[in-house]
Structure 1
Amino acid sequence: MIVKTFADFDLKQIAASGQCFRLEEAAPGRFNLLASDRYLEILDMSARQDIPGAEPSRTYGFSCTEQEFEEFWSPYFDLSADYGAVKRLVPERDRYLRNAVSFGGGIRILRQDLWETMVTFLISQQNNIPRIRRCVRLLCENYGNTVIDLSGQTHYGFPGPDKLASVSEDELRNCSLGYRAKYIRKTARDVSDGSLCLEAFRHMDYATAREALMSCYGIGIKVADCICLFALHHIEAFPIDTHIRQVLEREYPKGFPVSDYNGCAGILQQYIFYYELFHSAI
């Protein structure tokens, strides 16, 4: 296990932020994460105070080598980016956004696998986070590769497009996917037969990638923006779901000032989403 301390980084907040569905707090302060076919256990070694405005810098133990951490997990967690600089862009006069930033200040935008993100956000349509997690778990258990951790326990990686292209729609529906099964099967077939090139998306700017994604079966504007933000790392993307739309109507009736935030409005969107999701429960 290697130990690291980072500012503006809180796994509990990230796990609950709705951007990733295979990062879970298995026990208080202990997290399990599967990304593609990689498995990681993370231990929160900080004394936690779960209060708004608490210092978001934390110390964690990671069950990997230093090399694997630097080559894969550090980029995955976007640890080289200065999120403090993003927070400093929010003016004092915007009390709502400053409160949201303070409340969820440990969130970072994960750099997730494009294929996995496309499928999980197809699943996310008209769905809630616990049910999305269940659907993803069933999909991985049924069709993913076996991943053995250091203690010999079995986990399951995320199934690739070739595997899901070979599965019938009825079989996918058995993973509690409902009508979303047809979207996933069609997307898998398009990737598998080469009519949809995932690599091409990596070379597109935000506007081009968004339009290209919206031409895919079952992907609308909100899902396209989520994929742009959470997989392609276009941090100017600003997905609008029911929670965000309500905030915009209530707090920003003239529109959210996206242009004020130097192409990083997507980070602020995550602070807002998390604040709306959990602040009302306090």
Structure 2
Amino acid sequence: MITVELEHFSLDKICDSGQCFRMKKLGDGHFSMVAGDQYLEMHQKNGIVDFYCSQEEFICYWVRYFDLDTDYEVYMNAANPRDKYLNAAIEAGDGIRILRQDLWEMIVTFLISQQNNIKRIRKCIETICRMYGERKFSTEGVEYYTFPAVEALSQVTEADLRACGLGYRAKYIAVTARTIASGEISLERIYDMSYHRAKKELLKLCGVGEKVAECICLFALHHMDAFPVDTHIRQVMDVHYKRGFPNRRYKGMRGIMQQYIFYYDLYS
């Protein structure tokens, strides 16, 4: 177990931030997380966080995953003091981190998220992991399933994916998996691309539109200028930023500002 004291870090808010769907509340500050082929349990009381993993796993995987080396106070202090709405959103969302998640997992996740609610998204992802992922056990004996590899989903029919509750999104995932497995689109190259080039490449994938591409850029590629606009964000823009969001002021940090706003609008 690794115990660390962390500022501006909240497992509870990260879990509810809409960027990860394999994190679960186990009760009283206790959480579990499956990311790729990794399983982790955590406990937080105030600023003290226990990560139930080895030091090597913590340093080599989870520090980067939770973006622990980034000082989020820099983002929080960058807000225009006259922008009462944004400052209230930052105060409410203090503790959210932009996670560094797997690109393939985020492509499938946000294809599933279209016209969907969080409960159903979680269920769909858990179903495809159980059906097509690898069954594993944590060091404590907890059973979990890895996220299905590109090759695994590329061999699954649209009908089989529909049986997992994906609805019309089954086609998007089936076609996208085959596109990537064939080498037509390279995930490795996307990792090395700038924000705008990566977004343009992602838009070539079946079912990936503007909002989904922005989510993937932010939550997988960590392009902090990505700014996903869904119904919640659009409504906030219409009420509080009628002249548009001040993009120039928040260049390089628009993504975290979006997350503060999204969380505040959803839970305030």
* TM-score over 0.5 for the pair: yes
Give me the whole-angstrom Cα distance separating, in 2, the residues matched to 1:147 and 1:27: 23
**Secondary structure of residue in 2 paired with 1:139:** helix
Per-residue CA distance 1:211-230 (angstroms, 9 max, x = gap):
11111110000000000000
Whether the 8 Å contact between 1:38 and 1:147 is mirrored in structure 2 is: no
Q: CA deviation at 1:149?
A: 1.3
Q: Name the TM-score, length of structure 2 as normaliser.
A: 0.98
Tell me whether 1:69 sits opposite 2:84 in the alignment: no
2:197 to 208, 227, 230: 208
Per-residue CA distance 1:39-95 (angstroms, 9 max, x = gap):
00001133xxxxxxxxxxx21111111111011000000011111001101021000
Structure-1 residue corresponding to 2:25: 25
Q: For 1:26-41, list aligned pairs within 5 A.
A: 26-41=26-41
1:128 to 114, 117, 127: 117
Tell me whether 1:271 sits opposite 2:255 in the alignment: no
What runs of 5+ residues in structure 2 fail to find an aligned partner? none
AA aligned to 2:137 is: I
What runs of 5+ residues in structure 1 fail to find an aligned partner? 47-57
Structure-2 residue corresponding to 1:227: 216
Q: CA deviation at 1:246?
A: 0.2
Per-residue CA distance 1:146-188 (angstroms, 9 max, x = gap):
1201221211010001001111111111111000001001111
Structure-2 residue corresponding to 1:52: none
Per-residue CA distance 1:191-229 (angstroms, 9 max, x = gap):
111111100101111111111111111000000000000
2:185 to 193, 196, 217: 196
Per-residue CA distance 1:6-53 (angstroms, 9 max, x = gap):
11110100000000000111222110100000000001133xxxxxxx
Runs ≥4 in structure 1, deviation > 6 angstroms?
Answer: none
AA aligned to 1:223 is: V
Q: CA deviation at 1:190?
A: 1.1
How many corresponding residue pairs? 268
**Percent same amino acid among aligned pairs?**
49
Give me the whole-angstrom Cα distance separating, in 2, the residues matched to 1:168 and 1:207: 32
RMSD: 0.8
Structure-2 residue corresponding to 1:99: 88
Structure-2 residue corresponding to 1:153: 142
AA aligned to 2:253 is: C
Q: Name the TM-score, length of structure 1 as normaliser.
A: 0.94
Structure-1 residue corresponding to 2:15: 15
Structure-2 residue corresponding to 1:162: 151
2:129 to 140, 144, 159: 140
Give me the whole-angstrom Cα distance separating, in 2, the residues matched to 1:211 and 1:191: 15
**Secondary structure of residue in 2 paired with 1:261:** coil
Give me the whole-angstrom Cα distance separating, in 2, the residues matched to 1:241 and 1:134: 21
